[in-house]
Amino acid sequence: MAFFFARPARDAARSMPYNGAFFRFLPLMPDAHALLQTVFGYPAFRGEQAEIVAHVGGGGNALVLMPTGGGKSLCYQIPALLRAGVAIVVSPLIALMQDQVATLSELGVAAACLNSATAPDEARDITRQARAGTLDLLYVAPERLLTPRFLDFLNDLNIALFAIDEAHCVSHWGHDFRPEYQQLGILAERFPTVPRIALTATADEQTRADILHYLRLAEARVFLSSFDRPNLFYQVVEKHNAKKQLLSFIQQDYPGASGIVYCLSRKRVEDTAQWLVENGIRALPYHAGLGHEVRDRHQREFLREDGVVMVATVAFGMGIDKPDVRFVAHIDLPKSPENFYQESGRAGRDGLPAASWLCYGLNDMVQLTQMIEGSEMAALQKQVELSKLDAMLAFCETAACRRQHILAHFSEQSAPCGHCDNCLAPPITFDATLPVQKLLSCIYRVEQRFAASHVIDVLLGRANQSVTAFGHDKLSTFSIGRELNQRGWRSIIRQLVAKKLLQVDIARGQSLVFGDGCRAILKGEQKIYLRPPADDKKSRSANTDRWLRTEREERLWQMLRRWRKSMADEHNVPAYAVFSDKTLRELVEKRPANRAEIGRVYGLGELKLARYGDALLDILNEASQSDD
Ligand code: ADP
Ligand code: ZN
């Protein structure tokens, strides 16, 4: 083994680091559990991982539906190590492949990727090693895999398995449709005896059916995990000044942490990123209008550095495997619960507490409705999009558990979670019948032809130009709503829209018009209960598990982070490929003093232990000396 560890560490960063994998040197044929511990440094499989690994390792086909951060990669990586031959992993994005290869290389697993960025001599080297049987995993883009040349090359190989990552790309229904994915069924024909495993975090029925159909996995075993993300804290806040609210959220709850901020438009991305930078936050913009080069640079920086906040449109995200993203903030309403779930799910893949923070207002709803109505979509598609938007609004306005609500959207039953914003501070609903009656009669008096802001002006008795121009200062409802302020009325209107008692007529200047059920309330036949407008000052901190470090812990933490950064730079890999935050945290908390103790720390497999164990013990030692 000596020669193996003596190799310059920098080699590890290259796509083809070793002449064979580390575990080949283990004395016995390792079982799955031993691989998990020795190679990955994890004590136990999570959820259905063990069963999936056994099934695929034994030659079975599988479809794996698991939420982001659930640990899909291990489901094919361990079978790849268990089975003879090279595993071919189909992956849609270069960045995603490079990331996986970097992480695997750091673990001593022989992994490589072939894509348009691979230099020809490097590609030759990789194919040679695949033929020689010294490669464990080979990542490749679908368009390359499907070329006759590559399929011929595969014929010469001993193939352990095929893994098709981000398998929802086969479906028109999915958000990342890729036509080439639909042709991957050819693998079933060409390599009928090689097991195939498709993986995705998209759960809906239609996408699932498409995957099984196009990838010819009808006979495959389906592993459907719970889509719950227990470490995510869900919080929705009412928008009044989104940028300011965002800034104080970051400053209070996640100073110095990595995060993603999603915005609806490019302009808003630019503005928000600039605002954060001006306020001392390391933020970078990302949207499709930026040049390739800039986007790549920002993405790289976000992945590699600690504590960068990426402000982005939805163009950013697929395949972002960064495990230590501490928060995902939406400062505009996502257009569907599916989008929201995918995007917010990019937080906390490492299992440590993380937050989904959503800031929304009625205007978001109006703007998105306008975008859908004004688009080129077919009428039926518009209907679908509008109903998804309604579902999103319902999530925002619910007074019940957020988690329960979102899981129910994915047909999963669950009990209230006890740690979302609504569970922690249950909104107390109040009998809003009287104010709602006032609002509805005011809407009726203005003949359902005016937008929310005008109606509120009338209720509050503001005789401004527009109100007087239409003679609305003479209405019986003028000034009858002074018991609430602007925000209070907006909150009521939003809730009524969410309940479909009101509609916003986009085509007619966003007028508020009656939905079903208004008359019963107006006539006093039906009571209505609503939640009061949220009080910002009372809102819970999203960061429910702030890890409070003592001064000496903080010093050690910073030392370890600096050291990790220097290792990452030296190996040319992201910091988290060296060690996750969770590992550093355990090092700080447990302060292992010797080899035996440090070997039990999370994420320290045998290679990392051999490579970094002494350096870490030195740092720990140094830290405790300076404590004295
Ligand atoms: P997914 O692809 O499903 O989003 P990943 O495969 O990237 O998730 O895994 C998310 C994180 O969880 C990674 O940092 C991974 O190393 C870690 N992980 C996966 N399985 C386990 C496990 N059994 N024990 C501990 N950590 C795990
Ligand atoms: Zn809850």
pLDDT given for residue 271 in this prediction: 96
Which structure tokens are listed for 525? Answer: 């036949």
Instruction: List the beta strands (DSSP E) in 258-390.
Output: 258-262, 283-286, 309-312, 325-330, 354-360
Distance CA 106, CA 611 (A): 10
Which helix (H) or strand (E) segment holds residue 286: the answer is strand 283-286
Distance CA 75, CA 62 (A): 10
Compute mean pLDDT per 10 residues along the chain, 628 residues long, and list them.
Answer: 30 35 44 92 92 95 91 96 96 87 94 90 94 96 94 95 94 77 95 96 82 94 90 92 93 92 95 96 95 92 91 84 92 92 91 93 88 86 86 91 91 89 87 95 95 94 93 94 91 90 87 91 92 66 61 83 90 86 88 89 89 92 76
Is the minimum distance from the CB of 321 to ligand 1 under 6 angstroms?
yes
pLDDT given for residue 278 in this prediction: 95
pLDDT given for residue 628 in this prediction: 56
Amino acid (1-letter code) at residue 526: Q
Is the minimum distance from the CB of 577 to ligand 1 under 6 angstroms?
no
Class of domain 232-424: alpha beta
Q: Which ligand is nearest to the CA of 347?
A: 1
Q: Which ligand is nearest to the CA of 46?
A: 1
pLDDT given for residue 439 in this prediction: 96
Same-fold call for 430-530 versus 551-627? no
CB 78 within 8 A of CB 109: no
Distance CA 464, CA 457 (A): 8
In terms of CATH architecture, what is 430-530?
Orthogonal Bundle (1.10)
Which CATH number describes the domain made up of 14-224? 3.40.50.300
CB 578 within 8 A of CB 363: no
Residue 162 β-bridge partners: 88, 196
Unique residue bearing structure tokens 């958000």: 175
Distance CA 84, CA 498 (A): 56
Q: How far is the CA of 46 from the centre of ligand 2 (A)?
A: 23
Tell me which residue has its CA closest to atom 24 in ligand 1.
Answer: 42
Tell me which residue has its CA closest to atom 23 in ligand 1.
Answer: 45
pLDDT given for residue 3 in this prediction: 27
Measured between its terminal Cα atoms, the distance across the chain in Å is 38
Instruction: Give the SS3 label for residue 58.
Output: coil
159-168 core/surface letters (b: 16 or more CB in 10 A; e: else): bbbbbbbbbb
What pTM did the predictor assign? 0.76
Is the minimum distance from the CB of 42 to ligand 1 under 6 angstroms?
yes
In terms of CATH architecture, what is 551-627?
Orthogonal Bundle (1.10)
Q: How far is the CA of 74 from the centre of ligand 1 (A)?
A: 7
Question: Can you list the alpha helix ranges (DSSP code H) found in 239-321?
Answer: 242-253, 266-278, 292-304
Give the start-to-end residue ranges of the domains of the chain: 14-224, 232-424, 430-530, 551-627
CB 89 within 8 A of CB 166: no
pLDDT given for residue 174 in this prediction: 58
Give the residue from 125, 122, 124, 116 showing the smallest Cα distance to 94: 116
The separation between CA 242 and the C-alpha centre of its own chain, rounded to angstroms, equals 21
